[in-house]
Chains A and B, each alone.
Chain A
Amino acid sequence: METYIQIIANGLMLGALYACIAVGFSLVWGVLNVINMLHGSFIVLGGYLAFFAWAQLGVSPFVMLFVVAAALFLLGFLIQYGAINRVVSKPVLLTLTLTFGLDLILYNFMNVVFEATPRRITLDLGSLGIGEVMLPYDRLLAMLLALAMTGILYWVLRSSRIGRAIVAVRMDRDAAALMGIRVNKVYAITFGISAMMAGACGALMAVVYPITTNTTGLLLGKAFTICVIGGLGSVPGALVGGLALGLIESFAGTWLGAQYAILIGSLLMLTLLMVRPTGLIGKRGYE
């Protein structure tokens, strides 16, 4: 019984981080109708920044989180404003290839500057033990912060001025433009928020897992999967999808062996896509 609770607890801790990964990706896909191939690299970049600040300057990753978030917001904003906005309404082939190309540049840059060596922030905060279930404090903290950030984003989208503008653009770009919303700017802010979430989440992940450039594709794949499970452009959807994927991977890893986790995730996603060609909870019209 304890083992099951442990598996579930691991799955939920993982899932909270996954939700945080996917929420920004889902936002960009849903609002801009763009698949952002840079997303995995944003996460890894955030992780590296947090790692080096911790290793060389002794800054706690939980503080660095905010610096990373600000830096990645700016990076994301500029990328969208300078490049992606120019093709944002073009077919998938163009937008996807463009972000793919941008990702190669960022990825290459990270490989040269940070090298591909796996880096991990080891905080050794000990564990919270409930019965035989062990909850390491660093993971627990990462999970809570990830959930908090997701919650804040949800609140921002629902209640703030810019949040309403983003939702309006998502629903009907042309109508929003007619209402005086500057669509390109909203796009850039949306993309910035997405990069910000990715970077902050990367900083949290560095506390739990080793960060390496080799995982950019993997993280991107997880974001895909979560979006397919949870649907596009909605924060609760990403949360549900993220937690679901965390649990699935946790159980699959325990029963079948960790090496099958990726295969299971990919197959799950392909199956879901085939059963529901437009995504499980996804809306039609966001193709």
Chain B
Amino acid sequence: MSHLLEVRNLSKSFGGLQATKDVSFTLEEGEIVGLIGPNGAGKTTLVNLITGVLSPSAGSIVFRGRDVSRQRPWQAARSGLARTFQIVQPFPQMTVLENVAAGALFAGAASSRAQAEREAMEHLEFVGLADQALRPATALTLPSRKRLELAKSLAMKPKLLLLDEVNAGLNTAEIDKALALMRTIAARGITILLIEHLMKVVTSLSTRVLVLHHGELISQGAPQAVLEDPKVVEAYLGSKFAARLAAQAQETGVEHV
């Protein structure tokens, strides 16, 4: 059987620094998978490798049965890989609508600028930005910009959506909204790889969790199991706080599962 995405023995080093080491995992269609790890664990590097921003030093990436290890970002975008950025990257002087239309036109299915704008409008309605469509992208607040990124990614008609810290900097109410949004997206059949700091988001959304530490995949599996994994606990907090985290993970698990 074939996986949606298969990462095999992926390594990337910058000079002497090994950012990812021999990482292997698979994603299946329709899954929501969380990718967690302490700061500097190599999460964003991994996303950059998958989306063609970086080329791997070793290993391979197979997406929908095709080896995409060496593809450029624009090819990744067209092949159904879309991502949002930790630091939002809009086209500053374009309107919100045009920003989203760019995704629809160049990576999505839109055949003309007019159609791209129509599609963009639908995506903006979906994320709740329709009333801001004609404002310049720079006029948006941070939570709105995050939603703009999401709309742009969705306009690219992705099979796999990589969400890099979409919830960073949002307050609780906004996070709840974002969670609902992500569930709806997943329900549309889009596979999601969720890079997150917030355990609450990861545990309540993902069916599976991958843990990176110092560029290595140290654990993967169901959220509960992973969070109780001593290796993970140690990676995050050192052995000292192992017990406390275990208790906490139990609690969140009860709340959300």
Report A-B touching, CB under 8 Å.
Answer: no
B interface residues with partner A (beta carbon < 8 Å) = none
